[in-house]
Chain A
Amino acid sequence: MAADKRADVLVTTDWVAKHASDAGVRVVEVDVDTSSYDQGHVPGAAGWNWTTELCDTLVRDIVPAKKLEELLGKSGIDNKTTIVLYGDNNNWFAAWAFWQLKVYGHADVRIMDGGRKKWLAEGRDLSTEKSTFPAATYKAGAPDLSLRAFLPEVQQAVAGKKAALVDVRSPQEFTGEILAPPGLPETCQRGGHIPGAKSIPWGKNCNDDGSFKSFDELKALYAEKGITGSEPVIAYCRIGERSSLTWFAMKYLLGFDNVKNYDGSWTEWGNLVGAAVEKP
Chain B
Amino acid sequence: MKPEEYSRRQQELAGWAVTIETYKLGDVYHCTIANVDPGARFARADGSTKQEAEERAIEKATRYLAQTRRFDV
Whether A280 contacts B1 in the complex (CB less than 8 A), given A90-B39, A181-B38, comes out as no
Task: Quote the shortest CB–CB distance from B27 to chain A (angstroms).
Answer: 11
Given contacts A40-B30, A171-B37, A203-B38, 6 further A-B contacts (CB under 8 A): A40-B25, A126-B1, A175-B73, A176-B71, A181-B42, A183-B35
Report whether over half of chain A's contact residues are helix, strand or loop; otherwise say mixed. Answer: loop
Contact in complex: B40, A183 (CB < 8 Å): yes
Evaluate contact between A33 and B41: CB separation under 8 angstroms. yes
Q: Which residues from A are CB-within-8-Å of B39?
A: 89-90, 203
- Asked if A242 and B38 sit within 8 Å, CB to CB, the answer is yes
Binary flags per residue of A162-175, CB closer than 8 Å to B gives 1, else 0:
00000001111101
8 inter-chain pairs at a CB distance below 8 angstroms, sorted by A residue, are A33-B32, A36-B32, A171-B37, A172-B37, A178-B71, A181-B40, A182-B16, A183-B68
Q: Which residues of chain B from 33 to 73 have any CB-CB distance to chain A below 8 Å in the complex?
A: 33-35, 37-44, 46, 61, 64-65, 68-73
Instruction: Mark out the residues of chain A between 98 and 140 whose CB falls within 8 Å of any chain B CB in the assembled complex.
Output: 120-121, 123-128
CB distance from A166 to the nearest CB of B (A): 14
B3 touches A170 (CB 8 A): no
In the assembled complex, A39 has its CB within 8 A of some CB on chain B:
yes
Contacts between chains A and B (CB distance < 8 A), count: 107
Using Cβ atoms and an 8 Å threshold, which residues of chain B touch A176? 71, 73
A32 within 8 A of B: yes
Q: A265–B39 Cα gap in the complex (Å)?
A: 18
B3:A123 contact, CB within 8 angstroms = yes
Q: A125 is contacted by which of B1, B35, B71 (Cβ under 8 Å)?
A: B1
- CA–CA, A180 and B39, complex, Å: 12
> Which residues of A from 154 to 203 have beta carbons under 8 Å from B?
169-173, 175-184, 186, 191, 201-203
Q: B4-42 CB contact bits vs A (8 Å, 1 = yes)?
A: 001010000000101001010110001011110111111
A52 sits at the interface (CB 8 A): no
Choose from A88, A92, A126 the contact partner of B3 (Cβ within 8 Å): A126
**Docked-complex contact A127 and B38, CB < 8 angstroms:** no
Chain A: which residue is nearest B40 at the CB level? A181
Are B71's CB and A89's CB within 8 A?
Answer: no
Assuming the A-B contacts A90-B39, A171-B37, A177-B73, are A120 and B44 also in contact, with contact meaning beta carbons closer than 8 angstroms in the complex?
Answer: no
Residues of B within 8 A of A126 (CB): 1-3, 25
Which residues of A in the span 15-43 have a Cβ within 8 Å of any Cβ on B? 31-33, 35-36, 39-40
B2 and A125 contact, CB distance less than 8 A: yes
Most chain A Cβ neighbours within 10 Å, of B18, B26, B39, B68: B39
A279 beta carbon closer than 8 Å to chain B: yes
Is the Cβ of B1 less than 8 Å from the Cβ of A40?
yes
Chain A nearest Cβ from B13, distance in angstroms? 9
A202 to B43, CA, bound (A): 21
Q: Please give, as numbers and ranges, the residues of chain A lying within 8 Å of B42 by CB-CB distance.
A: 33, 181-184
Contact of A120 among B23, B43, B68 (CB under 8 A): B23
